Structure 1
Amino acid sequence: MDVNKIVEQQVLQAAQAVEEQIDAEMSRLDNMDEDDLDRIHQKRLAALKKQASKKQELLQMGHGQYTEIPEEKEFFPICQKSPRVVCHFYRESTFRCKIVDKHLAILAPKHVGTKFCKIDAEKCKWLCERLKVRVLPTICLLIDGKTKDFVVGFDDLGGVDDFPTEMMEWRLGLSGVIDCDADPTNPPTLGQKPKGARGKKAIRGGGDDSDDDSDDD
């Protein structure tokens, strides 16, 4: 038998199978009575109520906003209560930490399923040592109480100070700490870099706004 005819026959068989499935589903829907429709409605309503209840529970735990962890000892209880946590280790005097603050404050209400928070690195020396936080800003990403990933400096965010919030969202999505369809091969396009803006060299080289904590002790 001709190869083209074999392919054509297989395509026709596949199309017929799909058509039969569609016809069967339409028939099932047509034959539903009010009790069947009511059961579907009640099941959907119960799912929505459960979803709303879970969201309310997360909001009561501080999800939906970008908050500060005031003391080192509160870090682990927070990570145990919230299944997904984005924690920014910052220093008040570090300029790039303020850039991170801006983006995380935007993302927090958008991704209620994740706890967004920050902690002053100068007030948690032991924690920084345990997590090997050396460069600020560092964003620690945790899932189910375990460290999943780190975003250190801006190299993963385009290597510039003026990256868009979508870039931060994409990077967090790669780790699975937020629900985001992040394609690792297709990061968001960076906007036009302002004239005179500093790029990767300043960030990697420990410029005046990126701090290395390795010799702070």
Structure 2
Amino acid sequence: MLKLTKRCRYINLDFNLIYPAKDNLLKTKWDNFKTKIVNYYYANIRNQQSIDLLNQAKTTKKIDFQDYIFTILLNSVLLPSARFSVDGNTKKKATIKDANESFVLQLTTISDYSIRIKEIIGDLISPDVKHWKLLVLLIEIVDLLFDSSFSNFDLDKLKNLIKAHHQIYILLYGNLKPKHHFLVHYPHAIEKCGPLKFVWAMRFEAKHKDAKTYFNNITS
């Protein structure tokens, strides 16, 4: 079944047959679920590192961070039983820390994203699925934008990738966002200024942390 072209649709159909109108149940009841699971965590978690994470999640104002912690803490009450090879010989039982870390996609750099995501789910998704096509196009665009040099062929390829990405995005989601429009101008910016990796200001985004920390301290 998983090798069929329309396997994702078949899985959704089967789920809806067994559990009618419940495909989005967790999303709609997530807040209620969090309230109940937190009480369960406090009553049943024994691992000190997990308890520390739970206390952080309770005090933070960042909802995304809180949701993430509440999710990975399931490993603290549903203890992992998997084993994995160490040096190809001995078998090691997965710890709670191992399970928590495996929940997150670990990347050395942003350019590793395309490699890792394709390794994990690439062979499980039909290339005909438009959402997957959209993601693959975006990955190819990002990979190309991180190049250190560009030929005319590269710039033409980048323009075509961006055009194809935007066409599928409009088909799936409707109107483009402002950042999609900015992306259209990237090939021209590269022609005028050279590779964008040499002029970007991403590293300076880290300074935002100082401002946020200062703000939180004077308003807490």
Q: Bin the TM-score by the shorter chain.
A: under 0.3
Higher relative contact order (CA 8 A, sep 6+): 1
Higher strand share: 1
User: What TM-score results when the alignment is normalised by the length of structure 1?
Assistant: 0.22
Q: Which structure has the bigger radius of gyration?
A: 1
TM-score under structure 2 length normalisation: 0.21
